[in-house]
Amino acid sequence: MFRLLISLASLVVVSTVVGSRLPEPELTGGIISSWGMFPSAAFISTPALSYCGAAVIHPDFVLTLAQCVYDESRQVTLQSNLIEVVAGDIKIIPASFGRQQRSVQEVIVHQNYTGYNYNNDIALLRVDKPFEVPSNSVEMGTRRRIIVPNGAVCQCPGWGVQRSTSIDQVEIVQKYLSVDVLDRDACNEVDVHGGLVRESMICAGNLYQNPNAACSGNLGSPLYCDDELTGLLSFGANCGLANDPPVYTQIRFFNSWIDEHIERNE
């Protein structure tokens, strides 16, 4: 059985260059990923967020959070030409040969997204040029379509960047965490969540203090269970603090919406 997936890369990406602005703190702890472990894992960069996780699900589309494609006011959706997508690389610095970078042509945010409670926190991005798939470094993620049982162990890949890291001294390599899927009712009993965790979400990670966890820079990171794309980290990224478990948008609840928009564009 698989595990869960956390955070992806982080520095600002502009055209073909990874910029010098450091991201918010990323994944803490974890095990270094090997090539090919998470070939659908990607990330986006915008003027508002130096990094937000994503996943390749089609040669022309990546899936990410709705909250990742809003400007700093959190009120206005960003213009597509302000969003860059990077896939096919387990290193941020230096870039690897297998990296595929794309501009975005269209942003499709779920029509019922509400930012104050993260409901329907999902968006599709259509890229300007199809990803080369399958390749040695990029493959389309298989979306989860059935329930993940409580206690299932999932995987979550990301980059272990800390705020104090000097960009001139690091090689940023993808790592991954193992996390347990938690009972939704137990997550809602935690004061900080207070009923926010809906059926269209999945809770996975630490209820107690844990040195291996997602941080604030990990939003949008994909969750993989049984090697299937199961979720995108929406809130609860706390660097391992107790009583604030990570909560993901649950992909299986949005498969019809995803299929509809992909078919419409085809």
Please, what is the Cα angle at 216 between 151 and 106, to 5 degrees?
95
- Cα 43 to Cα 151, 183, 201, 206, 222: the distances in Å are 28, 28, 21, 23, 10
Beta-carbon count within 10 A of 51 CB:
32
pLDDT digits (tens, 9 = 90+) for 182-240: 999 999 999 889 889 999 999 999 888 888 888 888 899 999 999 999 999 999 988 88
Query: In the structure encoding, which two tokens stand for residue 234, read together?
Result: 């929406």
Coil/strand/helix, residue 1: coil
Q: Do 41 and 223 form a contact (C-beta atoms < 8 A)?
A: no
- Whole-number average pLDDT of the chain: 85
CATH 2.40.10.10 assigned to 39-141+254-265: yes
pTM above 0.75, yes or no: yes
Look at the block and give the residue holding tokens 């040969």: 97
Domain residues of the chain, as ranges?
A: 39-141+254-265
Lowest mean per-residue pLDDT among 35-49, 163-177, 180-194? 163-177
Query: In the structure encoding, which two tokens stand for residue 105, read together?
Result: 């042509």
- Cα 167 to Cα 94, 119, 161: the distances in Å are 11, 35, 10
